[in-house]
Amino acid sequence: MTKQEKVAFVIDTLESIYPEIPIPLEHKDPYTLLIAVLLSAQSTDVKVNQITPLLFEVADNPYDMVKLSVEEIREIIKPVGLSPMKSKGIHGLSKILIEKYNGRVPQTFEGLEELPAVGHKTASVVMAQAFNVPAFPVDTHIHRLMYRWGLSTGKNVKQTEKDAKRLFPKDKWNKLHLQIIWYGRQYSPARGWDLEKDIITKKIGRKSVLKDYRKKNG
């Protein structure tokens, strides 16, 4: 199977499983999405979706957020982890949004990545999901599956993103990155992986990955 045949199989299979795909993080506008994505670093979407309603009940816009102290923000978001860094980032970026962007979230990668605690992945998610700009945010699921499928070297997320953008059509990036995340969670997890249920990897998986799996699982 050539890489292009693998890519076509991935696209067709994911489209048949997930013709409509939900955004995992609950939000109502670009600002609340930005905060939710920032909070999701080294946490789970489930946990973030439990905490954001509590935070947004108090402050769901930068003007209300800066009225809170960093410590008050931290107390609310503590369950998601990394709260000292995240609370400073939320307060700091909210202040910048007011001072530099009239309270609005910038619609450029450059503008987003200049904000405190906002890296390339967070900026990519916001650009894709809030502004519908083609992007391919790479999380642990996408990084794992691109390697399992033999579509990337697996060296680092930067290389995985580069490979994904090179292989998949640009007009499909935004939907595909969500489809792969959901597929990774449901059919090809890091732990408790059942190859028989993982129809994509079983069909196109890297030979060394399939060999290792079968050796471990008899």
Structural domain of residue 87, as residue ranges? 30-131
Closest CA to 27 of 56, 62, 59: 56
Q: Which amino acid is at 142?
A: I
Which of 106, 131, 156 is a domain's end point? 131
* One domain, residues 193 and 150: yes
- Of these residues, 86, 121, 163, 198, which one is catalytic? 121
Number of domains in the chain: 2
Give the pLDDT score at 214.
94
* One domain, residues 188 and 203: yes
* One domain, residues 37 and 120: yes
Q: Which amino acid is at 213?
A: Y
Give the pLDDT score at 133.
98
Distance CA 133, CA 201 (A): 29
CATH code for the domain in which residue 40 is found: 1.10.340.30
- Of these residues, 45, 88, 139, 162, which one is catalytic? 139
Which of 131, 148, 176 is a domain's end point? 131
Q: pLDDT by residue for the chain (218 residues), tens digit each?
A: 899 999 999 999 999 999 999 899 999 999 999 999 999 999 999 999 999 999 999 999 999 999 999 999 999 999 999 999 999 999 999 999 999 999 999 999 999 999 999 999 999 999 999 999 999 999 999 999 999 999 999 889 999 999 999 999 999 999 999 999 999 999 999 999 999 999 999 999 999 999 999 999 97
139's tokens: 């999380």
pTM of structure = 0.92
* One domain, residues 115 and 175: no
Is position 95 annotated as part of the catalytic site?
no
Is position 139 annotated as part of the catalytic site?
yes
* One domain, residues 81 and 40: yes
Which of 84, 110, 131 is a domain's end point? 131
Give the pLDDT score at 154.
83
Closest CA to 104 of 135, 96, 67, 114: 96
